[in-house]
Amino acid sequence: MTITAPQKTAPASPSLQPTGWLRYLSFSVDHKVIGLQYLVCGFAFYLIGGAMAGAIRTELLSPVSDFMARDVYNQILTLHGTVMIFLWIVPVVNGAFGNYLIPFYVGARDMAYPRLNAVAFWLIPPAGLMLISSYFITGAAQSGWTAYPPLSITTPATGQIIWILSVLLLGGSSIFGGINFIATILKLRRPGLKLMQLPMYCWAMLGTSILVVLSTPVLAGTLIMLSFDIVAHTGFFNPGMGGNVVVYQHLFWFYSHPAVYIMVLPAFGLVSEILPVHCRKPLFGYTTMVYSIMAIVVLGLVVWAHHMFTSGTPPWMRLFFTIATAFIAVPTGIKFFNWLATLWGGRISLNSAVLFSCGFIVNFVLGGITGVALAQVPFDVHVHDTYFVVAHFHYIVYGGSVFVIFASIYHWYPKIIGRMLDEHLGRLHFLLTFVGFNLCFAPQHWLGLNGMPRRVAEYDPQFELVNQISSAGALLMAISTLPFLWNVIASAFFGAIAGDNPWRALTPEWLTSSPPPVENWKGDPPLVTHPYGYGTPADEIDLNSASGSDLWRSGK
């Protein structure tokens, strides 16, 4: 069948797609533009969510509620959690880096469904603005990011409904993105490229997208039922009308536990890309890494009730979910030791990307250990809903995912912008972030073990000093953003020219110009069958080879 449409002959592309900076504000279908849109939009929301975290830590400087009213604290707390999860980490580790890198990694010129991709991104800014503006219009939701009924039914309805609407939009965006990633990885691979030759980030995104497609719709259905309870006064989750609040918790955590893996599996993948390049060694244990990811996907779907050990969970359920959760430590531990083995004996260049990656490994292990502890019922019933949990999940989502986001920005900025970031500022950024983060969250373990409940604006005066230490850490984290912001803005204009492949990396995105052209490669996409074929002396690597596999072979 021949296409004889007029667009074919007319120069359709330039008229449809702006080419200057304006394309970043347009309905562009270029996966690299969409990736950057996700990244910048997500970072803007990170700054907003970070300001809210600052407000929370300021309030907690003193045991009484003096910085803001209690209901304002509840709103800020809810918005902070929702913004950071749904508008910063999920869109950035999935949407931003996924869109930018996955087509390169599979040797494609774009995602499988470019228009769906643009739709998925453009659902995010309106949803985020709607969520945040609810604070100024009627008061935002007050029931935390979990929106547990009956709290979410009894707190002011308007803010809660706006919260539900925006989370539904963001969930839709997430599902569209997930479908796109699955189709791109499974269907759009360059001929000759086998699944087990893909860079690890593809596997991470495949696993993540399966979780997104399977679990996010359940959250959507649950939130629709919750909104019926609020608006139409049905009684699904209203005990006063014969409803059952625990059913909400089950359905909510069926999404929201996998959501942890949706936030952290892509980070695993990104670290697996960054470490081999800067250690000049192949990724250790590729096959076990792949199976670990898939094991985490399967196990991640059947552990949700470990969030509900204090919700009257029957003993058999406690037993099952404790054991299943403990099992997740096995594939996660395999990945952890594989990263260590990748670092072991490598010629590590300790730049900002590696520093942040190593920071991730340290923080994630700490968060993982407290996670295994929290899965044990006898321990969990004592620290449930205390600051111990707050410390635990910040070690996972901040110490894990956000550290990796920064590592990835240091690693891929030269590719995206074409200029290098300043290393001194990068190391300062790492130092401030790492010290600030641990200063902020490590003391919260102690607070939780001693019984300080989470989500509350006021606390027992005995906790004042430790809270102030924690707030000092938060201040350091806020300050750490400044050198980073200056770095990414100034380097875009004054940074050293990066060249095509400043890290001498072998993965396909480096085998094109920086920034890459529209459609990623001039000429055919390279066939990279050994993305981690490092270990050859630098002067023996022929950077002018046509493809990554040539690099690998000539290296031997």
- The strand pairing partners of 386, in sequence order, are 453
C-beta closer to another protein: residue 194 or 556: 194
C-beta closer to another protein: residue 29 or 277: 29
Q: CA–CA separation, 324 vs 304, rounded Å?
A: 10
In the complex, the smallest distance separating the C-beta of residue 211 from another protein, rounded to whole angstroms, is 11
- The strand pairing partners of 453, in sequence order, are 386
**Nearest CA among 126, 169, 163, 168 for reference residue 145:** 163
What is the DSSP code (8-state) at residue 463?
Answer: G
Q: CA–CA separation, 437 vs 480, rounded Å?
A: 10
In the complex, the smallest distance separating the C-beta of residue 520 from another protein, rounded to whole angstroms, is 10
In the complex, the smallest distance separating the C-beta of residue 180 from another protein, rounded to whole angstroms, is 8
C-beta closer to another protein: residue 241 or 543: 241
Structure tokens at 491: 């380097």
In the complex, the smallest distance separating the C-beta of residue 292 from another protein, rounded to whole angstroms, is 24
Q: CA–CA separation, 107 vs 520, rounded Å?
A: 9
In the complex, the smallest distance separating the C-beta of residue 521 from another protein, rounded to whole angstroms, is 9
CB burial of 373-382 (b: ≥16 within 10 Å; e: otherwise) equals ebbebebbee
Q: CA–CA separation, 499 vs 91, rounded Å?
A: 28
C-beta closer to another protein: residue 7 or 138: 7
Q: CA–CA separation, 196 vs 203, rounded Å?
A: 9
C-beta closer to another protein: residue 10 or 69: 10
**Nearest CA among 291, 231, 272, 217 for reference residue 408:** 272
C-beta closer to another protein: residue 29 or 48: 29
C-beta closer to another protein: residue 191 or 378: 191
What is the amino acid identity at position 118?
Answer: A
In the complex, the smallest distance separating the C-beta of residue 8 from another protein, rounded to whole angstroms, is 6
Neighbouring residues of 179: CB distance < 8 A, sequence distance ≥ 6: 113, 116, 209, 213
In the complex, the smallest distance separating the C-beta of residue 528 from another protein, rounded to whole angstroms, is 19
In the complex, the smallest distance separating the C-beta of residue 496 from another protein, rounded to whole angstroms, is 30
C-beta closer to another protein: residue 161 or 214: 214
CB atoms closer than 10 angstroms to residue 11: 8
Cα–Cα separations (whole angstroms), residue 486 to 116, 490, 499: 34, 6, 22
Site residues (vs another protein, CB under 8 A): 1-9, 11-13, 16-17, 29-30, 109-110, 112-116, 175, 178-180, 182-183, 186-188, 213-218, 220-222, 224-225, 228, 232-236, 241-244, 247, 250-251, 254, 518-519
Q: CA–CA separation, 226 vs 229, rounded Å?
A: 5
In the complex, the smallest distance separating the C-beta of residue 48 from another protein, rounded to whole angstroms, is 29
Cα–Cα separations (whole angstroms), residue 440 to 247, 368, 466, 473, 509: 34, 18, 10, 4, 36
Q: CA–CA separation, 200 vs 273, rounded Å?
A: 7
Neighbouring residues of 526: CB distance < 8 A, sequence distance ≥ 6: 107, 508, 511, 546, 547, 548, 549
Q: CA–CA separation, 493 vs 503, rounded Å?
A: 20
- Coil, helix or strand at residue 419: strand
C-beta closer to another protein: residue 301 or 420: 301
In the complex, the smallest distance separating the C-beta of residue 1 from another protein, rounded to whole angstroms, is 6
C-beta closer to another protein: residue 378 or 523: 523
In the complex, the smallest distance separating the C-beta of residue 237 from another protein, rounded to whole angstroms, is 9
In the complex, the smallest distance separating the C-beta of residue 502 from another protein, rounded to whole angstroms, is 27
DSSP characters over 351-391? -HHHHHHHHHHHHHHHHHHHHHHHTSHHHHHHHTTBHHHHH
In the complex, the smallest distance separating the C-beta of residue 534 from another protein, rounded to whole angstroms, is 31
Structure tokens at 372: 């295994």
C-beta closer to another protein: residue 222 or 444: 222
Residue 198 C-alpha from the chain's centroid: 21
- Coil, helix or strand at residue 133: helix
Neighbouring residues of 463: CB distance < 8 A, sequence distance ≥ 6: 63, 447, 450, 452
C-beta closer to another protein: residue 109 or 530: 109
In the complex, the smallest distance separating the C-beta of residue 547 from another protein, rounded to whole angstroms, is 18
C-beta closer to another protein: residue 127 or 251: 251
C-beta closer to another protein: residue 74 or 222: 222
**Nearest CA among 184, 251, 288, 217 for reference residue 520:** 184
**Nearest CA among 342, 512, 347 for reference residue 414:** 512
